[in-house]
Chains A and B, each alone.
Chain A
Amino acid sequence: MRSLNILVVDDSQLTTKKIAQMLTVMGHNIVAFAKSGEEAIKQYSKHNPDMVTMDITMPDMDGIEATKRILQQNPDALIMMVTSHGQEAMVFDAIEAGAKGYLLKPLHIEKLEVNINEIYEKYGDKQ
């Protein structure tokens, strides 16, 4: 698989750092970080990344709302939730909003890699 440009969204600096490290090891490129839903939308339109890792609980707009908004403007956006919320209702809302993957913390590099590859193979290169 080619090297992807990825936007990492999480309000915890520590988490973004960990995700970024894993993605870099996997050979991907971090195009930007965002700490809130609002920022995620801005960074998405600025960088048009190949994929997004999205936290759910964040100050101001949450990750599910941000996912909806990004997909409204970019129906092909590939967004994967990376969250600590495992409740069934939350999972359902995220998928309904258009998330293409759902991972729970703690994140392991194997888990992250398998999911990115799966999403990429299934939904392919966006135009």
Chain B
Amino acid sequence: MTEGDLFKALFDVIPYNIYLADINSLKILYMNKQMIKQRGNLVGRKCYKSIYGEPKQCFFCKNPDLIDNESKPNNKMIVSECFNPVDDHWYQLHEKAITWPNGDTVKYAIAVNISELKETQNRLAEAHAQLTLKNRELERLSETDHLTQAYNRLKIDELMRIEVGRTKRYQRVLSIIMLDIDHFKEVNDQHGHQTGDLVLKEVVNIIKENTRDTDFLGRWGGEEFIIVCPETDLPGAHVMAEKLRRRIEEFNFSIVKRKTASFGVASLTPEDDEVSLIRKADESLYFAKNNGRNRVGK
């Protein structure tokens, strides 16, 4: 009995799938009885194709990690978990390179079916994913205004604190825009609250389409919104406010058709904090309201 036969005889009594493959040609040289029973005799075929259904060497193949620079066994045993899409089973793989009696380097792999164990683990992981998704959803709900999907007051307060801090620390510029829909009460009075809600949503869409991803939009009060614009100076904020004013003025609203808004603009100075910045924007908005509406305040 040769050394190789001895190996094979030993492998045949082990109740797990075992195969040997040439480390270079990737041809299967041997399968034990258990594996032949389950998968049929694949000796002489390529391992990636016949065992894993891959068109070329599996990119998760461990062979390169089992040999040294001269393609000789490095005596490492690598244990990994692997899902096989051919039979839809999970396996724990124990893989090691050895020198076959004829001098070739071959890999033997012992595959223990761990599908039942994985089913439990996987259910747990899927539950974990569900939980993470729910948490994310809750987080989103806690910081957005339900009607318009703009940030709520709480979140905008937090963002303002962060942005004012960052702007001062790095001596950057920061501006905010406040806007108030003109004669909004009339919409609710004449057309009902549903129409009022629709106008709010449409205004939010206009703003979102005409601001940058880095700007934050929040609902400040009933029909009042705030846009926090990092890295934007006062002239820049004026340009942006004027553009928004025009877009709203030109927009064909679903039911009320025409609607306008007034704007206030302010920029952070070294003396300012969140409160004074908002007060300045408020004053600018007040100016616009008192000077005929549908305009940007000084």
B53 within 8 A of A: yes
A126 within 8 A of B: no
The minimal Cβ–Cβ distance linking A72 to chain B, given in whole angstroms, is 9
* A9-22 interface bits toward B, Cβ cutoff 8 Å, 1 = contact, 0 = none: 00111110010000
A53 to B117, CA, bound (A): 25
* Shortest Cβ distance from B135 into A: residue: A95
Given A13-B53, A13-B55, A57-B60, decide whether A91 and B85 contact each other with a Cβ distance below 8 A: no
Decide: B53 and A12 in contact? CB cutoff 8 A: yes
* B122-135 interface bits toward A, Cβ cutoff 8 Å, 1 = contact, 0 = none: 10111011101100
* Shortest Cβ distance from B81 into A: residue: A84
Residues of A with C-beta under 8 A to B60: 57
Interface size class of B (residues with CB under 8 A): 20 to 34
A102-B125, A103-B126 given. 19 additional CB < 8 A pairs?
A11-B59, A13-B55, A57-B60, A84-B83, A84-B90, A86-B125, A88-B125, A91-B128, A91-B129, A91-B132, A92-B132, A95-B132, A101-B129, A101-B133, A102-B126, A104-B126, A105-B83, A106-B83, A106-B89
A59 within 8 A of B: yes
A-B contact count (CB 8 A): 55
Chain A: interface residue total (CB-CB under 8 A): 23
Decide: B133 and A12 in contact? CB cutoff 8 A: no
A37 to B60, CA, bound (A): 17
Decide: A88 and B85 in contact? CB cutoff 8 A: no
The minimal Cβ–Cβ distance linking A64 to chain B, given in whole angstroms, is 13
A12 to B84, CA, bound (A): 10
A88 to B128, CA, bound (A): 7
Q: Looking at the complex, which one of A11, A95, A104 makes contact with B122 (CB distance below 8 Å)?
A: A104
Residues of B with C-beta under 8 A to A12: 53-54, 85
Given A12-B85, A95-B136, decide whether A104 and B125 contact each other with a Cβ distance below 8 A: yes
11 A-B interface contacts by CB (under 8 A): A13-B53, A14-B53, A18-B85, A84-B90, A86-B122, A86-B124, A87-B125, A95-B132, A95-B136, A102-B126, A105-B88
Residues of B with C-beta under 8 A to A84: 82-83, 90
Q: Which of A82-113 contact B (CB under 8 A)?
A: 84, 86-88, 91-92, 94-95, 100-106
B24 within 8 A of A: no
A105 to B85, CA, bound (A): 8
